Amino acid sequence: MKYRILGKTGFKVSEVGFGAWGIGGGMWGSVSAEESLKALHKAYALGVNFYDTAWVYGDQKTRDGQSEKLVGRFAKEVGRDKVYIASKVPPMNFTWPARPGVVASQVFPKNWIVGKVNDSLSRLNIDCLDLMQFHVWQDSFVE
């Protein structure tokens, strides 16, 4: 596995990451926790140390955050200090992709961001995320 530094973080992350959308179930169908954990561990054994998840990676009706829960469980099993975990703040209007003309403060107000970060930390059962991203983006947000 090759590794590279993630931006200005100093984190040495695997060039191949584990996208955890599929292990959440939901639109991907029924996925067992055991099979999902096997996949997470197999990726780790192959050198993957970067795991990308999100609250909405799970049943869209219950919004149970199954993917985050499994990634958190996996991180505890291998050692939290051995993996980098990224998650995402969903837009407050739950619209993917971001609609043109919508300003960042409408879909990502401060209290929403803080609440969703805390929710993710709780589901992951960790104290700190390595990377938290907006789940939608448009360039006009920087204005």
Respond yes or no: is residue 57 known to be catalytic. Answer: yes
Blockwise average pLDDT, block size 10, the chain, 143 residues: 96 97 80 93 98 86 83 98 97 90 92 97 97 91 81
CATH number at residue 127: 3.20.20.100
**Cα–Cα dist 112/105, whole Å:** 10
Q: Could you count the other beta carbons within 10 Å of the beta carbon of residue 116?
A: 21
Q: Could you count the other beta carbons within 10 Å of the beta carbon of residue 121?
A: 17
Among 142, 9, 1, 125, which residue's Cα sits nearest to residue 72? 125
Catalytic residue from among 3, 44, 51, 57: 57
Please count the structural domains in the chain: 1
Q: Which domain holds residue 43?
A: 3-142
pLDDT score at 139: 85
